[in-house]
Structure 1
Amino acid sequence: MAASPATDEGWMAAAARLATRARPLSRPNPAVGALLVREGRVVARGTTQEGGRPHAEAALLARLGPREAHEGTLYVTLEPCAHRSPRGPACADLIAEAAPARVVIGQRDPDERTAGRGIERLEEVGIKVDLLNDAFAARSLVGYLYRKRLGRPYVTLKLATSLDGCIATADGSSRWITGEIARAHVHAYRAKADAILVGAGTWRADRPSLDVRLPGLAERSPRRYLLSRGIAPDGVTVINAPEAIARMDGVQYLYVEGGGEAAASFLADDLVDELHLYRAPILIGDGHRALGDVGLSDLADAHGRWRPVERRQLGSDDFTAYRRIRDHEEN
């Protein structure tokens, strides 16, 4: 059930939705959302700006007059930074000066330069602070949290298949299995990713452009990666194993588009955090299967690993998103 905007959880959910607008332009910084609420209405909004500065709180406060934050509640998805930088002031200092009555924080910042110090700075000047450990905020920051806590980006694997699980005909033809609406949906997800990856087989067969071809979003095309042991083509970076994603500098969100062997290798190494499955109402029969060997030796191990989180119809195609169930995540 969606949280009511009249509650702290509701306002935080709104701030989290706002934060998604900053992806991926906020890189290398996390995409953060902030709302100033007074008497039940939003007074100002802010998101992390292009290139990571100004931060969401600074962008919000810059829109206010000298005392407009007084008596208001500031909702921010991530703990305000406490460290000064040549690129800008510490947000905790800016908020302390603006003096809102209360600050509600969605997630504590795992960055050791802040990690509780932002909260301490606000409490030092008498501002009431509430830390929610909010699920909506965590989802909006999942790439940043994975990078900080696990040392790698959050990985989404996209598969577009026929009803019988094929990604191409027997002769390798794969354009197009899904329809135009589904393909536009994929491009919208590309636009939110820092990097996109395909396997060597897909590269050889299709030479995909891996860009964003939606009006007004071409500049959000992600950095291109190839899973291969060969030489990197122009404009593409090669990694030779899935675990090498840990060395993708500045990448918080990685979108893997296959093909079957690349997808299987990421699944076998348990590096897929979200699975996007597009299914077209067609049957191919003797074609290329969506996946190779994923390392499954016991059928019992296949259960309890994925939960559906979204379903929708995209023209004649069906889209379902699944999230990997992980022990370190409660939500």
Structure 2
Amino acid sequence: MMAKAIGLARGVLGSTAPNPAVGCVIAVGDSIIGRGATQPGGRPHAEVMALAEAGAAARGATAYVTLEPCAHHGCTPPCVDALIAAGVARVVVAHAHDPDPRVQGRGIARLRAAGILVETGLMEAEARAIVAGFAKRVTEGLPWVTLKLGVTLDGCIATKSGESRWITGPAARGVVQRMRAEHDGVLVGIGTVLADDPGLICGLEGLGDRPRWRVVADSHLRIPLASKLVRNAEAHPLILLATEAADATALQGTGITVLRCAADDAGRIDLRDALRRLGDLGLTSVLSEGGAHMAGALLRAGLVDRLAWHRAPTLLGDSGMPAIQGLGVERLADAFRLRLLTREAYEEDVLETYEVLLPRSGREILTGISS
């Protein structure tokens, strides 16, 4: 039952910001009588949806929920009140402590005070992974960042002339489409826009409205008005990260959101400030699909949570463009350390995901990106 609830939550990833993606199953014995997931934009909540489907049959039933039910009045009444009013006898919670400071154990306490049996910790690791972006935003003010790179076996993302389509095969590219759908926003630099004119939308059936935001680091607002991103901005929201000095006159009436970000002495965007501003807009997760300079800048700034390394069985040698540039590593002690999380094969390609650890030397981190 909890696996089904987690599946429901995973299915709405990328659509519920600023709220977390939550799944709920109401069951009597082995029979499911209600299913629910957080709805687009974050409400109604999963518990409310599941209880509505279950109706009066929820009395005496068990509710399986992926995250601690909310106990505060926001845009909607607390989910704990709905569970109590429905008369459920038992609530099983995977992730028992909602990181939102307005909840943090209060939901569990309210349920138990009402005489409901509460059990916690079932499939907790899986549930925590689903709300990692939400947790980072409410605790640090920053969205969760996944850096995606499609590389050759020797770590190149293109030839020196810039040719990169396609390093990985169709199966791996399908995985990337799913990754886009599961993140609130997809981020690239203006260099990628000028070189490739990407659309940055999910091509999977039924998910064409995701990601909800497309984001371009464009310090001086050089994006062409004829680009796909600008032409489709009304249907697929576009955010441009720019400095205060950038002239946005040409973009008036396009429906594009320009976020003014701090800049360094060289006029480069401060990516930490930029991501904080994205967090203020409600984004809980960002997939970076930018080039080598964007990858290096995000890593230097200590902003990458996960590295998704799509590796193809091809070699370019010194005729290739390195996947990551500008890290400034001169000693092994300064190397960025990774921890392997998963390894999966897709036809001939391999996807490895890593947790990104801090450089061991603790050296000063630079935050700018030239864009």
What's the TM-score once normalised by structure 1's chain length?
A: 0.87
2:107 pairs with 1:74? no
Instruction: Write the deviation string for residues 197-217 of structure 1: whole angstroms up to 9, x where unpaired.
Output: 112322221122111122222
After the TM superposition, which residues 61-100 of structure 1 pair with which residues of structure 2 at under 5 Å, given as runs?
61-66=51-56, 68-85=57-74, 87-100=75-88
Alpha-carbon shift at residue 13 of structure 1 (Å): 4.1
Change (3 A) 1:56 1:219: same
Alignment identity in percent?
A: 42
2:149 pairs with 1:159? yes
* Aligned counterpart in structure 1 of residue 301 of structure 2, from 269, 280, 290: 269
After the TM superposition, which residues 164-183 of structure 1 pair with which residues of structure 2 at under 5 Å, given as runs?
164-183=154-173
Alpha-carbon shift at residue 97 of structure 1 (Å): 0.8
After the TM superposition, which residues 237-252 of structure 1 pair with which residues of structure 2 at under 5 Å, given as runs?
237-239=240-242, 240-243=269-272, 244-248=274-278, 249-252=281-284
* Aligned counterpart in structure 2 of residue 109 of structure 1, from 91, 95, 98: 98
**Corresponding residue for residue 311 of structure 1:** 343
SS of 1:44's partner is strand
After the TM superposition, which residues 1-331 of structure 1 pair with which residues of structure 2 at under 5 Å, given as runs?
11-66=1-56, 68-85=57-74, 87-107=75-95, 108-132=97-121, 134-231=124-221, 233=223, 234=230, 235-239=238-242, 240-243=269-272, 244-248=274-278, 249-285=281-317, 286-302=319-335, 305-324=337-356
Alpha-carbon shift at residue 75 of structure 1 (Å): 1.7
Alpha-carbon shift at residue 150 of structure 1 (Å): 1.9
Provide the alpha-carbon RMSD of the alignment. Answer: 2.1
Cα distance in 1 between the residues matched to 2:328 and 2:7: 37
Cα distance in 1 between the residues matched to 2:282 and 2:10: 17
Q: Which runs of 5+ in 2 are unaligned?
A: 224-229, 231-237, 243-268, 359-371
Greater mean deviation of Cα atoms: 12-21 or 245-254 = 12-21
Alpha-carbon shift at residue 130 of structure 1 (Å): 2.9
Are the equivalent residues in 2 in contact too, given 1:190–1:222 (CA < 8 A)?
no
SS of 2:54's partner is coil
What's the TM-score once normalised by structure 2's chain length?
A: 0.78
The number of aligned residues is 313
Instruction: Write the deviation string for residues 109-153 of structure 1: whole angstroms up to 9, x where unpaired.
Output: 222322322223212221122332821211111111111122111
Moved over 4 A (4+): none
Supply the AA of the counterpart residue of 1:292.
Q
Alpha-carbon shift at residue 168 of structure 1 (Å): 1.1
Alpha-carbon shift at residue 40 of structure 1 (Å): 3.8
Greater mean deviation of Cα atoms: 150-159 or 171-180 = 171-180
Greater mean deviation of Cα atoms: 255-264 or 117-126 = 117-126
**Corresponding residue for residue 5 of structure 1:** none
Change (3 A) 1:297 1:114: same
